Structure 1
Amino acid sequence: MVLDHFAADRLERLALTAEAYVAQVFGMNLRLHDLAGEGLPYFLTDRYHFWRGDLQGRPAVFMVNRAGPLDTFDIAKHRELARRHLGVALVVLVLERVDARVRRRLIEHRIAFLAPGAQIYVPEALLDLREGAPAKIAPQPDYLSPTAQSVVLGAMLGRFVDQQSLTDLAERFQVSVMSMSRALDELVAIGVAEALWAGRRRRLRFAVNGRDLWNTIEPRLKSPVRKLRLVRGQIPLDQAPLAGETALAHYTMLSPPRVERRAVLASRWTGMTQALELEPAWTDEADRIELETWSYDPLVLAEDGVVDRLSLYLSIRREPDERVAQAAAQMLEDMAW
């Protein structure tokens, strides 16, 4: 048994202080109640005191370390164990003493905490409030970021996204680990995924999958197409896969269009133009190619030189041509979720 540095009255004062701080400064009611620790491993209840509470209308668990200093890695591991055993998405560390260095390390490791008198930081709820700063809660985004969208599409396409570490996902989707971490926070905030810790690595796990995930997330998805350009030249499929009606004709019985359409990541457009010596084309030139520039890399989810079905659907779902709209709807209906 570890040495308990917290007497019962001290724990009660800390809970009252935390509730009062959050209510007075940020206008939120935590509603903290002692948690007996049922279902938790003994070493956790021996080392931490737990409260059940409420955070922005979502159930949350608050935990305070009562056994002396711990390193950030241990805290992250213990917090994840509590999350799994208690079945809650939000587990928040309560800090009795305000130490800027400790808070900085917790933020670097994206560990939720409440420091009465200073700050409440819960990345899973897009919450980072500090006393003295405007008390604004980051709203859930109307649309997902390009990185979050490509990841969620990859999950629905069965591209082995679930249970992968952020480092592996960042490498696969060709983005920074920081961008992937923010994408995970977005997916957690809207309730379709959760963040897990495996050793020192943060992993993604989806709470819903397949068609259910699509029905939940579709209103937050948008067309990846930023701009349409007309060019002349030769473009290999491994640099710009088929897109638009050309790709739709590949997946359905729709006749292919006269002008081929391709897709490329927007940030690669200039470099590809120079490397392949592409030239601008006019709308009446028969040998022109229509080239879409995308907000995320179409190559990541493409198969056999064709953009993926879901990104394709999002790029043409507002198409006024009834032929195209019907073919797109049929393509989605025929998907094996």
Structure 2
Amino acid sequence: MLINRESIARYLTNTLGMADLELTDYPKAKQLPYLLQDQFEFLQMKFANHFVILAIPKKNIPLRQMRDALRYLPSDQPLVMCFESLASYERRYLIEQKISFLVPGNQLYLLDLGIDLREYFHRKKQAPVRALNPATQAMLLWFLQNHQLTTEWAPSEVATTLKYTSMTASRAVAELVELGLFEEFSRGRRKYLRANDSHEQIWQKAKPYLRSPVKQEIWTREPVYLRPSEICLAGISALSKLTTINSDQETCYALSPQTWQEIKRDLVPLPEKEPGASCYQIWAYEPRMYREGSISSGASCVDALSLWLSFRDSSDPRIELALSDLEKEFRW
């Protein structure tokens, strides 16, 4: 709960626009009972024609004990308690006791000054986005491959199709707007994104923030019994279907995280690739994303954009050539 006066002054200046704010030592502090001097540092500020006492705890003691001690303060000036942080139950207790308080960068409750509860719940300053969250990437690629005729879309609708939560959709909106790929607007309670660039331009801008969807590769000789709707070709097996590159003898498949959890106990992985074995890629998101607005119900290849990303770090000249051909064939 400990805090310093500089953070208090900075918070009040930024929050209430108090450019001339001045915090001074409380002039009657040395006349207070020793109990108060021992447990609190007292400051004074002038606000809205009032002199306000700020009480800053020096020790981490229970709020009830603080309240009882502060009853020995003169009652002719409003009191505000200052904390570095508060748990929800502590905040609730202070409000129930009608005690004004502040938490710099987070909460402000100035009851005695006629300012009702104002909670700011600022998120911690985030580092610049270096790579999109896998769910955000999946929703972006879905948009690029399924919304050819529109520049507006609702990530929440895509999230439902891909079985993500509304919270995940909100995070996707924040990431895509932060990168300048879309503009945000609302219709009713739903958030939409508007693109000012073509799909191809968005793809090129987003590339530095996109990553391979492949989290892990498993080689096995064990048979895997899955319905065609639960599996699709990936790796070289898929690339050979979409370009002129020759396929390997071994077949490569992509699995969603959920499907992998269901079958992994039945597989005995090999320590490395072996002739005649099969490769199973575990993806960070659903690999069965196709056009037409739904997940494919038949075995086929992974979507072309994700396939390109799964090979983006390859230094094999024949794969680089195939990727160049694949990108030229993207349907925008």
Q: TM-score range by the shorter chain?
A: 0.5 to 0.7
Q: In the alignment, which residue of structure 2 is the partner of 1:124?
A: none
The change in CA–CA distance for 1:224 and 1:271 in structure 2 (over 3 A counts) is same
Q: Does 1:233 align with 2:220?
A: no
Q: Distance in 2 between matches of 1:23 and 1:183?
A: 40
User: Which of 320, 327, 330 is the aligned partner of 2:322?
Assistant: 327
Unpaired segments ≥5 residues, structure 1: 1-15, 25-97, 105-114, 122-127, 130-135
Q: Distance in 2 between matches of 1:288 and 1:278?
A: 12
* Higher radius of gyration, 1 or 2: 2
1:163–1:205 Cα contact (<8 Å) kept:
yes
Q: Distance in 2 between matches of 1:23 and 1:288?
A: 74
Q: Does 1:289 align with 2:284?
A: no
Q: Which amino acid aligns with 1:201?
A: R
- The range that moved more, 243-252 or 293-302, is 293-302
Offset, 1:159? 4.3
The change in CA–CA distance for 1:119 and 1:313 in structure 2 (over 3 A counts) is same
The change in CA–CA distance for 1:166 and 1:330 in structure 2 (over 3 A counts) is closer
Offset, 1:319? 1.2
1:149–1:221 Cα contact (<8 Å) kept:
yes
The change in CA–CA distance for 1:270 and 1:142 in structure 2 (over 3 A counts) is same
Q: In the alignment, which residue of structure 2 is the partner of 1:242?
A: 233
The change in CA–CA distance for 1:197 and 1:252 in structure 2 (over 3 A counts) is same
Q: How do 1:303-322 residues align onto structure 2 when only pairs under 5 Å count?
A: 305-322=300-317
Q: Which amino acid aligns with 2:240?
A: A
Q: In the alignment, which residue of structure 1 is the partner of 2:127?
A: 139
1:160-206: CA deviations, max 9, x gaps?
78544344222111111111111111111111112322222222333
- Secondary structure at the aligned position of 1:298 is classed as coil
Q: Does 1:336 align with 2:326?
A: no
Normalising by structure 1, we get a TM-score of 0.57
Q: Distance in 1 between matches of 2:288 and 2:20?
A: 48
2:151–2:196 Cα contact (<8 Å) kept:
no
Q: Distance in 2 between matches of 1:278 and 1:146?
A: 26
Offset, 1:20? 3.5
2:135–2:172 Cα contact (<8 Å) kept:
yes
Offset, 1:325? 1.3
2:185–2:193 Cα contact (<8 Å) kept:
yes
The change in CA–CA distance for 1:165 and 1:210 in structure 2 (over 3 A counts) is closer
1:246–1:260 Cα contact (<8 Å) kept:
yes
Normalising by structure 2, we get a TM-score of 0.58
Q: In the alignment, which residue of structure 1 is the partner of 2:260?
A: 269
Q: Does 1:182 align with 2:162?
A: no
1:209-232: CA deviations, max 9, x gaps?
311101111000011111100122
User: Which of 184, 187, 190 is the aligned partner of 1:201?
Assistant: 190
2:230–2:259 Cα contact (<8 Å) kept:
no
Q: What count of residue pairs does the alignment treat as equivalent?
A: 222
- Secondary structure at the aligned position of 1:228 is classed as strand
Q: Distance in 2 between matches of 1:222 and 1:146?
A: 8
Root-mean-square deviation (Å): 3.5
Q: Which amino acid aligns with 1:293?
A: I
